[in-house]
Amino acid sequence: MKWKIYRLQVDAEHVGQRLDQCLANSVTEMSRTKAKKIIDIGGVHINGRRVRSSSAPVKFNDSIEVYIDQLPLEPYRISETDILFQDKYIIVINKPPMVDTQPTHARFKGTVYEALQWYLKDPFRLHVKPDIGMVQRLDRGTSGLMVFSIHPQAHKEMTRIFLEHEVHKGYLALVHNSPESDQGEILSFLARSRKENRVKSVDKGGKEAITRFEIIDELVDYSLLKVEILTGRSHQIRAHMAEQDCPLVGDVRYGGSSLASGIEISRPLLHAEKLSFRHPVLDQDLDFTLPPAADMQNIIDSLRVSSR
């Protein structure tokens, strides 16, 4: 999904106008109502700084950048049903697909991080001011389990648990084709290629990445895999499976198709299914399992029917 970026320079005609008015007057396809929503979620930057006030006056020669990520302009909000576990130290949530984990140029409001701030500010949910530590990230398109520390007493130990790989992270991945063996381990060194805008295995200079997989369901032209990552590199599963000639369904960047069983797919079909770790403060074992998001489950069910 490609972003749209508009770059404007304020001329004498628009000096002193409200920011939303300036955008509506300068960008043909943008109404004032739409401009206000984009400003509110954090997609507008003046002279390199995010501005979230529609009434902010623009000045002569201001450089304005407008980032539009093509996602809904209504911000994502966490509900009670999204919470799998919460105490005063940590919170475990179900992240929906197509929501950014952390702020981007296109939005601050409606990311998982901001939505968690919004959710926890209710004094009935947390009796102290929230202090959020982000130890885990999921790609925009990935659904499933995420844990955050929400108390200073938990931050350091939660970070250590993830850095030292004392957490079990299990995923479900729907891929094209089938790996050569029913189960296996992929070890390579991954690095980002700016030219290709993707991560790939390299002989020198990359970071070690270890991925284990097991086929749990073979379908016609597709496979459903259980995947465990022993390292947490960016796009690790996506890159490793693509290099096995088994790109994730919906992962166009890594060679997957945006169609499966005649259904259009807007994201890589990857789901964070399992998360196990020791509580950072209370020293208790915690183990969570979560079924796939509805869109992924629907595709799996459809492929199973067509494979009979």
Q: pLDDT digits over 243-289, tens only?
A: 999 999 999 999 999 998 888 999 999 999 999 999 999 989 999 99
Domains of the chain in sequence order: 4-68 (3.10.290.10), 80-306 (3.30.2350.10)
Mean pLDDT calculated for residue range 69-76: 92
* pTM for the model: 0.91
Give residue 286's pLDDT. 98
Does residue 232 carry a pLDDT above 90? no
Q: pLDDT digits over 143-191, tens only?
A: 999 999 999 999 999 999 999 989 999 999 999 999 999 999 999 999 9
* Burial state string for 136-160 with b = 16 or more CB within 10 A and e = fewer than 16: bebbbbbbbbbbbbbbeebbebbee
Does residue 109 carry a pLDDT above 90? yes
Mean pLDDT calculated for residue range 105-118: 95
Q: Is 139 a catalytic residue?
A: yes
Does residue 2 carry a pLDDT above 90? no
Q: Angle 19-25-27 (CA atoms, 0-180°, nearest 5)?
A: 95
Q: How sure is the predictor about 306, in pLDDT bands with cuts at 50, 70 and 90?
A: confident
Mean pLDDT calculated for residue range 30-39: 96
Give residue 125's pLDDT. 63
Spatial distance between the Cα atoms of 44 and 67, rounded to a whole number of angstroms: 6
Give residue 261's pLDDT. 81
Secondary structure of the chain as H, E, C letters = CCCEEEEEECCHHHCCCEHHHHHHHHCCCCCHHHHHHHHHHCCEEECCEECCCCCCECCCCCEEEEEECCCCCCCCCCCHHHEEEECCCEEEEEECCCCCCCCCCCCCCCCHHHHHHHHHCCCCCCCCCCCCEECCCCCCCCEEEEEEECCHHHHHHHHHHHHCCCCEEEEEEEEECCCCCCEEEEEEEEEEECCCCEEEEECCCCEEEEEEEEEEEEECCEEEEEEEECCCCCCHHHHHHHHCCCCECCCHHHCCCCEECCEECCCCCEEEEEEEEECCCCCCEEEEECCCCHHHHHHHHHHHHHCC
Q: How sure is the predictor about 130, in pLDDT bands with cuts at 50, 70 and 90?
A: confident
- The angle, 0 to 180 degrees and rounded to 10, between the axes of the packed helices 32-41 and 19-26 is 120
123 CB-near residues (< 8 Å, 6+ apart): none
CA distances from 237 to 102, 169, 191, 265, 305 (A): 20, 12, 13, 18, 26
Average pLDDT, the chain: 93
Give residue 197's pLDDT. 82
CB 174 within 8 A of CB 248: yes
Catalytic option among 87, 131, 139, 217: 139
